[in-house]
Amino acid sequence: MAISSHSIDLDFDHNHLWHPYTSVNNPLPVYPVFRAYDVFLELEDGRKLIDGMSSWWAAIHGYNHRVLNEAIVSQMQRMSHVMFGGLTHEPAVNLAKQLIALTPQPLQKVFFSDSGSVSVEVAIKMAIQYWAASGQFSKNRLLTVRSGYHGDTFAAMSVCDPVTGIHSLFKGTIQKQFFAEAPACRFHEPCTDRDLADIRLMLEQHHMEIAAVIIEPVVQGAGGMKFYAPHYLVRLRELCDRYDVLLIFDEIATGFGRTGKMFALEHAGIVPDIICVGKALTGGYMTLAATMTTDRVAYTICSGNPGLFMHGPTFMANPLSCAVASANLSLLASYDWQESVLRLEAGLRQGLDSCMELTNVSDVRVLGAIGVVELHRPLDMAVVQKQFVDKGVWVRPFGRLIYLMPPFIMHDEELRILTAAVCDVVKTMQ
């Protein structure tokens, strides 16, 4: 085992670094990483952890991948960044070509941003500006379903679950949106009129105020890791068309193969007016996201006042990010990634199935390269995290959920160790 010749100053980290979703009064333990490669995180003390999270769902090809490393180095030697206002460059053009080729034909316009949350902000602004350019200024609010999660910035927070969501504290300072009941139909179940009743009523009563419906297709991610019937999206598209409302798909977590399709929308066979992608776009190497829309939306926005789209991030279309994203999508196309995801799906089902026998487990569900064990009660994060590390795996639970989103390149034996660790830890919590 390689051990770092120097150590991270954990006292400084403890006293000065504010980690995500943690308290400075009672911070959770952090584990110093020396290096990462393949599907492993190697800690400073030499321990090697199998990564079950793909670094928050992004590192689909693992770490330190030769192809992606070379793309970064090659681009860095040409230019690491230039502003995108008034300039363009080959990595952005190539990546946009790939995204347009991968997504349904109507999605022809690509707007790059720095993160998934910002891509949602962009989508919301596009929808509102579209209706303003059409002279319908009253259509300036969003409709979504409960249990959703769309990011941490302010407009994105406004469409996260207002009651159980992690952003409920800000409900008095963010725009009030419309919320319908989340679909109850599970992935392989039929979608009934009852599942659509609440959102249909919202659209019927408020469509003159609603700019767009925003939803995570098929999989509700950080809001509860729930899988619902693709047919719900078919019916939702029909409702949006009937009531003249745009449809936004947030594919930040589901895009690029995670559910067994390149994009989750393919399970339903329908096309939104706007789509947000991020996370796995660069294979976890750099922060980058994109918001894609139709010619109709783009040209309408730019035909109204002020004649352009009102957004422009400083690091928009960063060449390093675009170059590694392009290499990542080419890498994905170079092998049978669907077979890999189906293999992971089978391994997750087999490995997590025994958890259903445990009294503290309410549900076990698997879709593509996503495995979820839902408990009856919330877990103690600090205790459970250490148990996983002691078993040689990296799993980051939240609330009542222990979930896995492994890299696509994970081997069967590594997946077996990962799922066995989940079952063992859940057993200790009974």
**Active-site choice (125, 139, 261, 279):** 279
Digitized pLDDT (tens) for each residue of the chain, 430 residues in all: 455 556 899 999 999 999 998 899 988 899 999 999 999 999 999 999 999 999 999 999 999 999 999 999 999 999 999 999 999 999 999 999 999 999 999 999 999 999 999 999 999 999 999 999 999 999 999 999 999 999 999 999 999 988 766 667 787 888 899 999 999 999 999 999 999 999 999 999 999 999 999 999 999 998 889 999 999 999 999 999 999 999 999 999 999 999 999 999 999 999 999 999 999 999 999 999 999 999 999 999 999 999 999 999 999 999 999 999 999 999 999 999 999 999 999 999 999 999 999 999 999 999 999 999 999 999 999 899 999 999 999 999 999 999 999 999 999 999 999 999 999 999 999 8
DSSP annotation string for 373-401 = EEESS---HHHHHHHHHHTTEE---BTTE
Q: C-alpha angle with apex 139: 134 to 141, nearest 5 degrees?
A: 140
Q: What is the pLDDT of residue 2?
A: 53
**Active-site choice (149, 228, 232, 243):** 149
Active-site residue, 21 included = yes
Q: What is the pLDDT of residue 146?
A: 95
Q: d(Cα 360, Cα 377) in Å, to the nearest integer?
A: 8
All domains of the chain in start order, with CATH: 10-64+336-428 (3.90.1150.10), 69-333 (3.40.640.10)
Report how far Cα 161 is from the mean position of its chain's Cα atoms: 16
Sheet holding 246-250, edge to edge: 107-113, 289-294, 274-277, 246-250, 210-215, 141-145, 178-180
Q: d(Cα 264, Cα 109) in Å, to the nearest integer?
A: 20
DSSP annotation string for 152-178 = SSHHHHHTS-TTTSTTGGGTTTS---E
Element (H, E) at 425: helix 412-428
Helix (H, G, I), strand (E, B) or coil at 62: coil
Q: What is the pLDDT of residue 428?
A: 93
Inter-CA distances, 226 with 263, 367, 420, Å: 17, 10, 22
Active-site residue, 51 included = no
Helix (H, G, I), strand (E, B) or coil at 129: helix
**Active-site choice (21, 37, 299, 335):** 21
Q: What is the pLDDT of residue 163?
A: 79
Half-sphere exposure of 119 (CA within 13 A, CB side): 29
Q: d(Cα 361, Cα 376) in Å, to the nearest integer?
A: 6
Helix (H, G, I), strand (E, B) or coil at 93: helix
Report how far Cα 45 is from the mean position of its chain's Cα atoms: 31
Half-sphere exposure of 189 (CA within 13 A, CB side): 10
Other C-beta atoms closer than 10 Å to the C-beta of 330 total 13
Q: d(Cα 252, Cα 1) in Å, to the nearest integer?
A: 35
Q: What is the pLDDT of residue 5?
A: 55
- In the DSSP assignment, the letter for residue 186 is B
**Active-site choice (114, 161, 195, 250):** 250
Task: Give the closest residue to 397 by CA, choosing from 428, 413, 374, 418.
Answer: 374
